[in-house]
Amino acid sequence: MQLDGSCHCGSVRFTVESAQPVPFMRCYCSICRKTAGGGGYAINLGADFRTLKVTGKRHLRVYRATMEDGSVSTGHRHFCARCGSALWLWDPTWPELVHPHASAIDTPLPVPPEHVHIMLGSKAAWAEVEGHRSDQRFDEYPDCSLAQWHERRGLTSR
Ligand SMILES: [Zn+2]
């Protein structure tokens, strides 16, 4: 499905084709939480980088986090320089993918039937893990990708 997204001030707008539009994966890592997750976590979607069209590119900035081991993250976190809204993550390790933040999407997204909670090892102490009893939980990375999760549930958008 096509996703339409924007930052809060409207300086940056984008469209992208997404085969993985269900906002099921909640990431509690400190980068997501501090840059994009006021509620304690952020949600990324899966989309096709080749289809990403952006207006207001001059307002885009990229944040590359320094990791605990001192290395610089390969993740390029794009945000609006005017209002600070987190928009999407692109990583040259998987250059064909782009991961828009669900929070930046204006298109109504499907409601997830369940959630996956990841990076709980770096969760803020105050953040409660809310969701369904059957939700999977991981201290670090999950055992399946965004694409596999959608495929296994028949939720891939064609
Ligand atoms: Zn903005």
Q: What are phi and psi of 117, to 5 degrees?
A: -105, 125
11 alpha carbon – ligand 1 mean position (Å)? 5
140 Cα–ligand 1 center, Å: 31
Alpha carbon of 22 to ligand 1 centroid (Å): 24
What single-letter amino acid sits at 51?
T
> Nearest CA to 106 among 5, 38, 19?
5
Residue type for position 94: W
pLDDT score at 121: 92
Cα(85) to centroid of ligand 1, in Å?
6
What is the predicted pLDDT for the residue at 38? Answer: 83
Q: What are phi and psi of 14, to 5 degrees?
A: -150, 155
Q: Which helix (H) or strand (E) holds 17?
A: strand 13-17
83 CA distance to ligand 1 centroid (A)?
A: 4
pLDDT at 112 over 90: yes
Nearest to 38 by CA among 50, 46, 28: 28
Residue 142's pLDDT band (boundaries 50, 70, 90)? confident
Kindly tell me if the per-residue pLDDT of 85 is higher than 90.
yes
Cα-Cα end-to-end distance for the chain: 7
pLDDT at 143: 85
Strands 97-100 and 60-63: unpaired
- Indicate the length of the chain as a whole number: 158
Task: Give mean pLDDT, residues 116-136.
Answer: 92
> For 20-38, what is each residue's pLDDT tens digit?
999 999 999 889 888 998 8
The segment with the largest mean pLDDT, out of 22-36, 92-106, 134-148, is 92-106
For ion ligand 1, residues whose CB falls within 5 Å: 7, 9, 11, 80, 82-83
Compute the distance from residue 6 Cα to the ligand 1 centre, in Å. 8
CA of 2 to the centre of ligand 1 (A): 21
**What's residue 158's pLDDT?**
78
pLDDT greater than 90 at residue 41:
yes
The order of strands in the sheet holding 2-6 is: 2-6, 13-17, 53-55
Distance 52 CA to ligand 1 centre (A): 18
